[in-house]
Structure 1
Amino acid sequence: MVDTTNTQEENTGSIEDIAKSLLVPDETAPQEEVKEETSQEPVEASGEQEEAVEEVQAESNEEETQDQEVQEQPEEELYTVKADGKEIQVPLKDLLRSYAGNSHIQAKMREQSDFQKKMEAEANALSNQRKDLQTKLDAVEKNYKSQEMKRPPMELLQTDPIKYMEEIEKFNIHKEEMENLQAERQKLALQENEKAEQQRVAYLQEQGQALVEYIPDLKDAEKADSIKKSMVQTAVQYGFTESDINSIQDARALKLLHDVMLFNQAKSAKDGNVQKSNPRPFIQTGAKQSPSANQTKQREKAFQNMKQSGSVEDVARWIAQGE
């Protein structure tokens, strides 16, 4: 009989081993996978760290470059200038800008001044030409008047028709020339009147601007009406009429009238305040008198005592009351 105990034990062991091998998980393969994953993670981490380091280095390089550029830029030099009575520090670029602006303004002012001088010179030249022409016309007209021709009589036509025709032709020519002279004189007079009117209007505009600079409140329509009425009333108080005031064209005279108006208003206000603040005192019987009244009475009493006694002490008291 064959001994099967060992065989069963061996078979039993084999079955148990197989069962254990099936029940217990195989840890070898996962460990290898974990090892592989672990080996890959440090590689990826090292790559990210390198990129972060490169970015930090790039930012650091940019900051260093900016710092170097800032350090390389020279400090702007300041210059001391005086403006409105105060000394201030300004950079060169502001000085150049200010100089350029002032130069432009001065150039425009010179251009305007030159243009105005040119216009004045042309106006004066034209005025002189008109005066010369007027003088010549006067001389010609005077000469023609001295040689005034009369219309030939009709009798001459009957006696000598040819001579009559010659005389009538001369008369007509002379008459036409005189009419032309008179027309030219009227034209010159009209031009002179137009020029005078233009100058008058320009002068009034100039004086109006000057008056507004003297009295800025005239820019306000409401204030302007009140100021004008007050100025007229002030002028009337000094004997001027409204037509006299309207004929004033010089801004300086109107400014003077305005100053007088303000002075009178201030004086009236001051007088009113004095009367209100210093009313006449009303003293009642038994009322307490002011210190000045008491001092006056004491001084009078000391004076009477001095007169009566004549003593040195009363004299000293009277002097002391006066101090």
Structure 2
Amino acid sequence: MKLNTTQKVHTLAVAALMWLGHMVSPAGAYDVIDVQHGGTLDGTVTLAGAIPEPKGFNLITFPDPTYCGRISNGKGWRLLRDFIVAPAGGLKNAIVTLEGAESGKPFDMSVPLIEARDCMFQPWITIVRNGHAVEVVNMDPVMHDIQGYETSPEAGARVLFNTPLILNHQHQRGNMRAVHNHAPGKSLVGPIYLNKGRRTFYMQCGFHAYMESWAMAVNNPYYAVTDEQGAFRIENIPPGTYQMVVWHPQAGPGATRTITISPDGTTTEQVALQAPKGNRTSYKVMDNPRFGLESLGHPVEIEPLVEHQH
């Protein structure tokens, strides 16, 4: 079936920004079988090196500073923590996948949901089956604009689409203390079809640059996203040898190692990803009167009613 322009936009609700083709095997058919004597992979992903400072975005330089300031540092800045590290060094939101599994347990058939809530895409990391659907909804009373990007070492980056995500009219307008106890608005839903060699995606709001979401498309259901302690667990794996790929959107190319899953056994892996060094971003919190609230020339109240960031 040939898709029209609108359908093509919805087809790519998230779009590629990083390229992992050199780390993974080509996409192929996956068969669901009754796994006999399956094994388990668990472990922890840590961050090696100093934890990078969060990115800082001056809210008055973007639309809707009052509403989006419901999450802010109390001085007019939104912080984007793309590295969440536990006291013991565990890294949250790292993706662990097993490449080479051509058959095994069934996929989770539910459609992943990404919400725009308080000017933040949630979750920050999503897993979607290659060729299947993802849904994006706006829970906010402000307009968002989905921009998608694709890149490769050979071709560089290019914009795939730019489409509005209309505001949710069910929200109680004008009430900065309102909670999201309403039904979601009209959503964008569509299957994701990947170009050869591209596995990861990036979505950003064109109006609010601090809104971003990453996703990876997978060809088998053997994957996990690390929790707050950096821990992961993948179960019911057919015994055999696989490539374990560990990746985080901001921690470089990731890590790949060969592992063996034994029948009815547990394989434990500890993986350290290297923290970026040097000046990684121009988005930083600055104490500069030229960028203070008074620079607008009229009163603006930015109160962190939902989360006071530190």
TM-score, normalised to structure 1, is: 0.14
**Greater strand percent: which structure?**
2
**Greater helix percent: which structure?**
1
Larger RCO: 1 or 2 (CA < 8 Å, sep 6+): 2
**Greater C-alpha Rg:** 1
